[in-house]
Amino acid sequence: MKRFTPIIVAVVLTGSVAGFTGYAVGRQQVTTVNASTAISSFDTIKKLRAGQLPEAIARQEAKCFASAAAVLSKSGWRSEAFRKIMVSGLTEYRRAYCTNQAEWSPTEQRLERLLAQNQ
């Protein structure tokens, strides 16, 4: 048993360090996402207050479409719940307001493919 003790201690320490590192990295990513959301939302709020409605809508649409494409292209997390909540509404919205395919960004084109796959 004495010869296994150092191995057990090493495994426990390695696992603890790996767990802490993963937690720290994940927390940093969440902070980055929150910061970018705050910056983007603040920019949109300023545009709305200034009466720049088309620019504000375009900014929010771009953020929404990019986020939806990112979630739909990943498995895991809670993507099934996201699909149930968002796919039909997002598809209807795009059919009503984003009809000119010539104006679609590459992200919107990717989103359209993902929406079609998830119907």
Q: What is the pLDDT of residues 48-61, one digit of tens each?
A: 889 999 988 998 89
- What range defines the domain where residue 18 resides? 1-51
Contact 72, 96 (CB under 8 A): no
Torsion of CA 87, 89, 93, 94, to 10 degrees: 10
**Same domain membership, residue 17 and residue 40:** yes
Q: What is the pLDDT of residues 4-45, one digit of tens each?
A: 677 776 766 777 767 767 766 666 676 777 677 777 777 888
Question: Do both 56 and 45 map to the same domain?
Answer: no
CA end-to-end distance (rounded Å), the chain: 58
User: Global pTM?
Assistant: 0.68
- Residues 110 and 61 grouped into a single domain: yes
The answer to whether residues 45 and 66 belong to one domain is no
